Structure 1
Amino acid sequence: MKTLFKTIAFVFALVLTTNYASAQPPHKRKMMDKKEDRRDRKEDVKDKAEDRRDVAEDRRDRAEDIRDKREDKWDAAHNGGRRDKLEDIRDKKEDMRDAKEDKRDRMEDKRDRKEDIKDKKEDRKDRRRGSY
């Protein structure tokens, strides 16, 4: 029974010293928390910006639909309802809008790649410091 208590006390002391040795100082922990909070705020800002871009794109799409309907109505009234000419005009306009949208998408992809590279670098730095 005496050796059992000694063994339990030894294991308990070992666990306590291990926890104490592996614990980070409060200042370092506080700095890491601040860094994490900063990173979270950055991500929130990026998410909000992306949401705003999505809303703007939806608004543009709705405006485009309304514009197309209005143009169709006007063209049908003024061009004697020639569908071929109407469709050609609409296709040209749609091609221009698609080109603009493709350019916007490429820029967004480029921005995302830059962001991913920056995140990878940050993660690598954190892993090297041991604060991952």
Structure 2
Amino acid sequence: MKTDRLVMKACFLSIALILTVSLSNYASAQTARKNADRIEDRFDRREDRRDRRENVRDRREDKRDTKEDIRDRREDRKDKREDLRDAQYDGGLKDRLEDVRDRKEDVRDRREDKRDTKEDIRDRREDKWDRKENRRDRREDRWDRRH
């Protein structure tokens, strides 16, 4: 009986040991799985952040204009302005521009006509002196007649 009891105890202890080892293996396996899941989640979050940063960076780069893009847009605007100017020029603006040019030329001609040449100035001075001399002569004549 004693041996049966010892055998039963040994069996019980071995079963308990097996269960304990199994449970601890199960627990450690669970812990290992949890840790692996946490590590995987952490890695996934890092990748997600990295991807978001790259996406933001890509969008910013897409928004940035290269020098060529800026130059192309400027040329396009310049071409549009020239096309608009040509269309307006053909559609009646031409006549108005010619009228403005003619008026400007008329004003310029009148101003030139008003300008005095050196000869005109000299002639006026001579006329002025002549008038002064004539006045003086008339005064003298009047004086002579009175006296």
TM-score range, shorter chain: 0.3 to 0.5
| Higher RCO (CA 8 Å, separation ≥ 6 residues) | 1
Structure 1 length-normalised TM: 0.39
Higher radius of gyration, 1 or 2: 2
